[in-house]
Structure 1
Amino acid sequence: MTSALLQRALADPGYTGLRSLPHRVEFLLASLDAPPRLGAHLRAVHDVAWQLAHWVGQHHCGVRFDREAVLFGAAIHDIGKIDHPDELSGPGSAHEQAGYELLLAQGFDDESARFARTHGSWSATDLGIEDLLVSLADKVWKAKRIPELEQLVVHRLAAVDGQQPWQVFMTLDDELDRIATDADRRLAFQASYPVRG
């Protein structure tokens, strides 16, 4: 049975009308009785991933990427925290492999489940732009800037679009600054839900 707090975290419009998670993710979280804070966190990161995917589509039309994969990846990236709830309020990476295995056990294919494993390891050489965008959303939602990660995104976009990396960086930097302005409200939204339901 889904807790009322989890249901509220999934339906709460938040500070500016946070986008809802994909229905299959909401169903999964409810069926696993996920912690309410996890539901709130996934919505915040998913909303930022939506903004980043929209920005790429607007500013880098030549870049072909799977927008739905980015949104799904952001919506499930921390699902392993169901098994490691202490990592909802503190550091840790045990949830990454646990989330990947949980998704496989729930019938998701490797292509979908990978985001649980890859969102914290953006330096791996075989990652696609989708993985990098999920990782970026997972950082900038709280206004955390990771130069190494941002440079990977910049170089990937520049290589496809034929722009100079500094040009891509300038526009990406502006977008990340814009997204970061709402970080305090996203953090407050997440913190308003308990780790345990």
Structure 2
Amino acid sequence: MTSPDLLLRALRDPGDPPLRPLPDRAAELLRELDAPPRLAAHLRAVHDVAYGLVEWLARRHPHLPVDREAVLFGAATHDIGKTVHTAELSGPGSAHEAAGRELLLRHGVAPALARFAATHASWTAPDVGIEDLLVSLADKAWKNKRVPELEDLVVRTLAEASGRSAWEEFLDLDDLLTEVGEGAEERLAFQGAYPV
């Protein structure tokens, strides 16, 4: 199979268990950029977790204003800079963050949506909001990686919005992330089925 065929497969393969498709504009961008199939598979896995997070949040905290579509688009494109910095698909690096933001801006994506490419690894920046935290959380939770500092920021935001104690919010979030973590092996297998 050629790379474009594998990319389309990564974008369309339902997965087991099924993964939600990416937002149309995100999938279109990945096709335009001839993204590596592994990247598309990764973005599908993170987007699927982000979808679950925003659904949970809507049920548990309906009063908390969250731009659901921004979170989903951000999760679906957060690593798009790896189309430029392909070495970061299989190794460490942060050059893809600023590059991803610039790439999205050049392709006509609004700054409010392009920001996630740059903020998904910098959740302690002063201007980071709940949407940024959710994209960052999805980018860790998809593979069952727990980051206490990030989770504490989410918990603090939820407690401030709800008036509940941080401990209560932590317990609820911990239950959710434990459940999300149970599907990590399948998501990792889905990603691993596609070449870099």
Q: Secondary structure at the match of 2:43?
A: helix
CA distance in 1: counterparts of 2:5 and 2:11, whole angstroms? 10
Gaps of 5+ in 1: none
- Equivalent position of 1:38 in the other structure: 39
TM-superposed deviation, 1:60: 1.1
Describe the SS at the equivalent of 2:17.
coil
Question: What pairs up with 1:114-193 in 2 under 5 angstroms?
Answer: 114-193=115-194
Q: CA deviation at 1:115?
A: 0.3
Q: TM-score, normalised by structure 2?
A: 0.98
Tell me what 2:112 maps to.
111
Aligned residue type for 2:166? P
Tell me how far 1:2 sits from its aligned partner: 7.1
| 1:62 lines up with 2:47 in the alignment | no
Question: Number of residues paired by the alignment?
Answer: 195
1:90 corresponds in structure 2 to 91
Q: TM-score w.r.t. structure 1 length?
A: 0.97
Superimposed CA distance per residue, residues 15-61 of structure 1 (whole angstroms, 9 cap, x where no aligned partner): 11100000111111101100000000000000000000011111112
Where structure 2 has 5 or more consecutive residues not aligned to the other structure, the ranges are none
Distance in 2 of aligned mates of 1:143 and 1:111: 28
What amino acid does structure 2 have at the position aligned with 1:18? Answer: L
Structure 1: which 4+ aligned runs deviate by more than 3 Å?
A: none
**Letter matched to residue 105 of structure 1:** R
Paired with 2:111 and 2:3, the residues of 1 have a C-alpha distance of 27
Aligned to 2:23: 22
Structure 2: which amino acid aligns with 1:43? R
Using the TM superposition, give the Cα deviation of residue 140 of structure 1 relative to its aligned residue in structure 2, in angstroms: 0.5
